Structure 1
Amino acid sequence: MRLRHEMAERATSTPQGQAIETLALLTGLYLAASPWITGFNNLSTLAVTNMLVGIAYAVLMSGGFGRAYERTHSMAWAACALGAWTIIAPWVVAGDVSTTKTVVNNIITGVIALLLALAAAAAARRAES
């Protein structure tokens, strides 16, 4: 058990792990605030969705990659799902999206979130070996 804890510590103590964690936190906070930053808060359902998903992503990814490999691995894949959801949310939640900035914002932010989550999963896997 101590070995698994040390592996998780190694993943977050590297500059790469710290960069992933910091960028993921910023991505989640941006996603939560994006309806008001980009000005599409009139689509209230999508605005609330972005806010909730952004907060969940930030909390999930800033948790220090978890304390055990299994938890880290699960957190990273859950974050991948949140990134994928962010990409498709404008069509699923808002239906016929009338503004391009809504779609572009969610696609770019979702892709960044997805890539950071995959990087976190890879860092956890490297720390295990």
Structure 2
Amino acid sequence: MMGDELFYPGKEKIIFSQTQKGTIEEGQFVSGDVTEILRSLREQSGEMIWIVGGGNLIKPLLEENLIDEYWIQIAPVLLGKGKRLFEEGNYNYRLEFVETTQMGELTELHFRKKD
């Protein structure tokens, strides 16, 4: 939440946390194997599951081939050093470009995994 505004209003939120437990408005905290939890969500839901997170969350999903589409936002900031976009791991995929969206100073790239 930012101030009184909810992040992603109207969407159920499942937040992976090692320390927090319980529920929040429109969601809950979970812990455990991210791939097992995502597989369970995919079986329950007929809707798109949107994952927002860093490398620790994304890497196991990449290794288990569980991500179909990518929306990557690019901000015009040069840091000089930092973290990789995707952590090193046991995965190798070809992506196809879908579209680019301009959102103020951010550019969002949309890719889909090639079959």
Normalized per residue, the structure richer in helix is 1
Q: Which has the higher contact order (CA 8 A, sep 6+)?
A: 1
Q: After TM superposition, is the score higher than 0.5? A: no
TM class, shorter-length? under 0.3
Normalized per residue, the structure richer in strand is 2
- When the two structures are superposed, what TM-score results if normalisation uses the length of structure 1? 0.21
- When the two structures are superposed, what TM-score results if normalisation uses the length of structure 2? 0.23
